[in-house]
Amino acid sequence: MHKIATLADAGSIDTSNWEEFLCTSAQEVFEMMIGMPLERCAVTSPYHAGEFTAVIGMAGALNGVFAIRCDERTACGLACGMLGVDEKEARAEVWDALGEVCNMVSGNFKGKTGKAGEMSVISVPTVIRGLDYRVRPLINGSVVECLLQTGDGMIHLRLDYKLG
């Protein structure tokens, strides 16, 4: 059983590299587990919300929600690469594949954050399909985002969090 702890001094945690950690975590997971290279996009790149969103909650010293969003084509390409199957077979597995990728990227990121990650746990992933919804970020929380390009499309990573 994991013990959930809080930081005595959340101000002592350096979050200045977290955007880089988030992008690097995704690049490592996608390259190793899917065989799919990711290129970081310029901050000014326009992003249109995708119809697949996988989310994972974080609790402990790092509290928040981590999300990966992409369109159906990108999600299907991710499942094809991860499972080594054709597009027809991948369509049935898109939900589970995207949830597992969210799990791996958030775990990899958490491991890079030092004490905050060590003192936190993550939930099981939830995958949402659709375009007609809004996410309400944490009040007085912080946000780290990263936009990445695959051969199939864009992947948007976002962490809404609070330390404490």
Mean pLDDT by 10 residues, the chain (164 residues): 49 84 96 92 66 94 94 93 90 93 96 92 94 80 92 92 90
Enter the pTM of the model.
Answer: 0.88
**What is the rounded distance in angstroms from the CA atom of residue 110 to the CA atom of residue 113?**
5
**What span, in angstroms and rounded, lies between the C-alpha atoms of 26 and 54?**
14
Residue 3 pLDDT:
47
Residue 2: what pLDDT?
A: 47
Contacts of 80 (CB under 8 A, 6+ apart): 86, 87, 90
Q: What pLDDT does residue 1 have?
A: 46
The predicted pLDDT at position 45 comes to 57
pLDDT score, position 134: 77
* C-beta of residue 27 within 8 angstroms of C-beta of residue 38: yes
CATH superfamily of 16-163: CheC-like (3.40.1550.10)
Report pLDDT for 9.
Answer: 54
